[in-house]
Structure 1
Amino acid sequence: MHRSFRACIAAVSLLAATHGSAIAPSPADHGKAPEFPANAKWLNTGPLTISALRGKVVLVDFWTYTCINCINTLPHVRQWYDKYRDKGLMVVGVHTPEYPFEKSTSNVQAALKRLDIRYPVVQDNAYVIWDAYRNQYWPALYLVDASGKIAYQHFGEGHYEETEAAIQKLLSDRR
């Protein structure tokens, strides 16, 4: 069975089990955020590293451009980027393909334009970042605090107010 198909099945099962709601957000220390690979393909920016982003709050968003659940979360992610980037938030989209055609850089670039994604996006065609985070879902959000630790995670759609509150708290904690 295709890896991504299992992830989609798991996400659907998870959502069904919680009556339409994804896993409750978890503000806590989930360990140090993994580094982005040195040879990663970056779009909308030059290469970034978690260590160079210390002092900022980083929202790591695992997504793929054909996933309807991912597409449904994008307006919120774009809004948070626009609202908080000047206050210390960095959004990094981790495009992890579900299907072979999604590995094409030109297809991802067209999707970025079509979906109006202006924040940095890294292509994770080999699932290196996905595996480093031990991620299993699209979409998946991880908030990295100013010290480089994963402080919050959320899988699936929803809980937008809670996620924004976590962003606000982590931004205020860094002062």
Structure 2
Amino acid sequence: MTRRSLLPLALAGTAAAAAVALSLPPMSTDAVAASLLGGSGMTGKAAPAFAGINSWVNSPPLKMEELRGKVVLVDFWTYTCINCLNALPYVKAWHEKYKDQGLVVVGVHSPEYEEEKSLAGLKDAISRLGITHPVAQDNDFKTWKSYSNRYWPALYLVDKQGKVVYTHFGEGAYQQTEAQIQALLKQPA
């Protein structure tokens, strides 16, 4: 094949990609940066309240303003997400290791599928997975939306003053995340 005969194929592929891109919802500059760089438009902003929570498991209802003076790790997850399940041992270990030093881990369960909206199913998964930290059931994605979250798993670290200071989306960066937790715990309230 010559370059001239490949040109129509290349143009057709480009047109198809453009059509797909135009059908997607527009992304803000922050969302594009978050997608490309792993950052978040939430960094440096006050952590949103836990909004529209259906139920709490392993804890009475928590309020972000009542957690001031603590370091808070907000973990958006769902129990059928393999990436969430792969990250879960680290989240659980941080809870156990640092809970007595001022870390509060809050799992925000935002269901990917309809069957994950069942409180009984969520409680069963929490028991089966050995989760002991607080879990908020966010069936209507109100807390998810207040964080402008778009990913499972997603970690948001909140400092003692209530600001989001670190984010990570997806698996990995476990040493970096733990180093951030340790540094925040050392800071004065």
Asked if 1:120 corresponds to 2:131, the answer is no
Q: Which has the higher helix share?
A: 2
Match of 2:60 in 1: 46
Query: CA deviation digits over 1:36-60, x for unaligned, max 9?
Result: 1375410111010000000000000
1:90 equivalenced with 2:132 (yes/no):
no
How far did residue 174 of structure 1 move? 2.8
In structure 2, list runs of 5 or more residues that go unmatched.
1-23, 25-31
Q: Shift of residue 162 of structure 1?
A: 0.2
Aligned partner of residue 130 in structure 2, secondary structure = coil
Identity within the alignment, %: 54
After superposition, the CA RMSD in angstroms is 2.1
Paired residue type of 1:146: K
Instruction: Give the counterpart of 2:93 among 63, 79, 84.
Output: 79
Which has the greater radius of gyration?
Answer: 2
Q: Which amino acid aligns with 1:130?
A: W
TM-score (norm 1): 0.83
1:1-175 to 2 correspondences below 5 Å = 23-24=37-38, 29-37=43-51, 40-174=54-188
Higher mean alpha-carbon deviation, 119-128 vs 29-38, is at 29-38
Paired letter, 1:65: Y
Which shifted more, 28-37 or 102-111? 28-37
**Number of residue pairs the alignment of both structures matches:** 156
Higher relative contact order (CA 8 A, sep 6+): 1
Task: Tell me: CA distance 1:68–1:39, structure 2 relative to 1, closer, same or farther (3 Å).
Answer: closer
Q: TM-score, normalised by structure 2?
A: 0.77
Partner SS, residue 71 of structure 1: helix
Aligned residue in 2 for 1:3: none
